[in-house]
Amino acid sequence: MRKLRTKRSYLVMPSLLAFIIILFIVTPIFSQDGWTKLQVGDEGVFIFRDEFGVPHVLADSAGALFEAFGYVAAQDRLTQLEISRRQARGRLAEVLGPGVLASDVEARREGYTEEELKGQYSVLRAETRVLVEAYARGINRWIDEVKADRDKKLPKELWELGIQNPEPWSICDSLAVGIAAGRRFGQRGGSELENLKELEKLGRDEFDKKYPLNDPSAPTTISFNDKNLNHTPEFFLAAGHPPEADNESLQLTTLPGLPAKLGSYAVAVSSGRSSSGCAMLLGCPQMGFEGPQPGYEVDLHGGGFDVAGMTFPGVPAVLIGYNNYVAWTVTSGCSDNMDVFIEELNPTDTKKYKFKGEWQEFESRQEIFSVRGAAEDVRENICRSVHGTVFRVDKQENRAFSKKRTFWGEDAKTFESFIDIDRADSIGDFTEAAGTIALSFNLFCTASDGQIGYWHTGRYRVPAPGVDPRLPARGTGVDEWMGFVPREKLPHSVNPPEGLIVNWNNKPSKDWDNGDNTPWVGGHRVSYILGLVAGKKKITFDDLKAVPRGIESHGTYQQAVELAENGPTVLSILPPGENGFLDKRGVSNPHSSDQSEMFDAWQYKPAHFLNGDADNDGIYDRKEAERGTNPFVMGQ
């Protein structure tokens, strides 16, 4: 097992590798312990910091709740917010220099323009827009406080980067950060050119053996059986994906702002399989162990929300969590949702390409990049075909290569999906929400009525007849997609007869094909987990909690939930947790609580849920907020 490394580095101009160590800075400068009151318009919002530094927020309206949500996230993670939006919007080189310019170019080339972000935002429900805007107001409220008292409230890391006046947070910042996070976990494919080289090297027969379209022996999430336990429990066998695009680490970038490694697992247990008669869920996202963690814990109550769990700062929703009725977690789906097309260039005018018998002009724009330490700005031309962004040009062969994404233009709707999930109270709500998620995820849910469910989410194309999804498609119009797989046809399972659902990014179902990323070939690491739980007639909560240690593989955030009709029992761990970091004066946050020692000892902490009468003393928590007592201490 690799232990989490939390060493910090404070350099005036940190190198990229050094900066990764400090990238997720938690910098709350909170004035007092226990309860505080934040005035939002005419409404007073109560915020309680527990012994682990986690904010618990009580409000009357959803708008006030989300403004306080943004406020506490900025208090705790202002440096992370700043780096995340710069990474997502291609502006890291402004503060980190030329070493990250390539990442900035890629971010703008593969992402959306400001106008396109606004266009996606405009079609969201009015209620969603109210919440996103309130969240941004909360972040900006803390930024204003920081600017008024920089010496005490501006994180030392931002001083060192020369960011003494953080720009206001915009709704498009939240969209960009959320979209970048979603793609990091839910986008796969684009390896067709690497596969083409493999085909030329190996020949067709060996290529098909190494990268099969479907391997029926690969362990599946749906309808697994004891035969899975006989597979060699390796992570991904040599017969899997080429190392250039390894599905375990994605190896796209090690830039700060978002996690660089993936590999999450989940175990859902029905009431019938549980020794207590209560449905249970273990969720363990794995996002790398190279520095302070990107996950952020929060507990939100008011305006129709009673939800707690983990999110990423900048994203106004709980992404992995629980409420009184359901608990959920997410793993990367690893299904192919991005294809490479070969564009035939006009030999006399390379600004044009052939599509359906005619020469079409590439959509083109110029992006300007400011680079710290550079005498001049850098200008880059970004081109798109009807398929998508052009990422490479082969002048010798007179062709270009573009990426077409199945979810293009649909990313922002995921905000609504998770906002709906946050308020779900049944398996049916999850079925509906799963159908609106455009990216490739595995979504798991357990409910207080004992039910469990699994959905392989996303939007997946139907290729043209004769097109091999492992190889590049012709961009001339003859290999165009035939449509999309109906959502109801995607792999899903509600209340399987085994009463157990296990996933570690393995294959959804036997009939689900590999794409160009070929992630499911031969034995799979999920066999480790199956070996611990599948043979038990009844599974205890202790059995569930012991899975990470049993497989010797931590989640970087771990959440174990047992859902009874009278409410959830929740344990979690998030190293380093709500840590205190230095301000310019060298003063640390009074709410420092490093969970790394507990994490390394395979322990959990109680995940307090501020709802109703949490300490059973007959006083509703809002009353305890008003009188200033700890709602999680019995008999106070």
Catalytic residue set: 264
Q: What three-state secondary structure class fits 118? A: helix
Q: What three-state secondary structure class fits 166? A: coil
Phi-psi region of 3 (alpha: psi -120 to 50; beta: other; left: phi over 0): beta
Q: What three-state secondary structure class fits 627? A: helix
Burial of 1 (0-12, 13-18, 19+ CB in 10 A): exposed
Burial of 461 (0-12, 13-18, 19+ CB in 10 A): buried
> Which residues, in sequence order, are CB contacts of 328 under 8 Å at separation 6+?
281, 283, 320, 321, 322, 421, 424, 430, 443, 444, 445, 446
Residues 298/470, Cβ–Cβ less than 8 Å: no
Phi, psi of 284, rounded to the nearest 5 degrees: -135, 80
Residues 386/360, Cβ–Cβ less than 8 Å: yes
DSSP code of residue 89: H
DSSP code of residue 272: T
Residue 348, number of CB atoms within 10 A of its CB: 7
Count CA atoms within 13 Å of residue 231 on its CB side: 29
Residues 33/590, Cβ–Cβ less than 8 Å: yes
What's the CA gap between 319 and 329, in Å, rounded? 8
